[in-house]
Amino acid sequence: MAEKVDWSRRFDDSIEMPDGRIIDTIGEAAEYAVDLPGKVGNTPPWKRAAKALHKAAEHGGPFVFMARISFYTAVYGDTRPPIGNPEGKNGHRQRSARKAVIVRSVAFISMDGSPVASRF
């Protein structure tokens, strides 16, 4: 049985194109890829992106995530999509430094039932 092809599936995160357009769905990404000149559209990154977009339209699920990565790579090359802390703020580093300072304590219970605290 053939599965329904759904080009309206949304990416988890939108993709901002170099010209300022926002790509939200697999169909929008496919339209962008189809409108490329043949010389650009026939390169290996765009062929991978087209294949991934088609699989995402057929199957959904994790294929949508992979299609987003393939499409982003075809558009921007090897630069990685922004994840985590795209503005470069160091707030996440401050938190991890605080975690290193925390002394953990674990409560143990002795054989007679009284609590015994241990630090490491």
| pLDDT tens-digit map of 22-45 | 999 999 999 999 999 988 888 999
| Rounded Cα gap, residues 79 and 74, in angstroms | 10
pLDDT at 104 > cutoff 50? no
Of 4-8, 79-83, 102-106, the least confident: 102-106
pTM (global) more than 0.75: no
Q: How confident is the model at residue 85 (pLDDT cuts 50, 70, 90)?
A: low
Predicted confidence (pLDDT) per residue in 52-73, tens digit: 999 999 999 999 999 999 999 9
DSSP for residue 36? S
| Rounded Cα gap, residues 75 and 20, in angstroms | 13
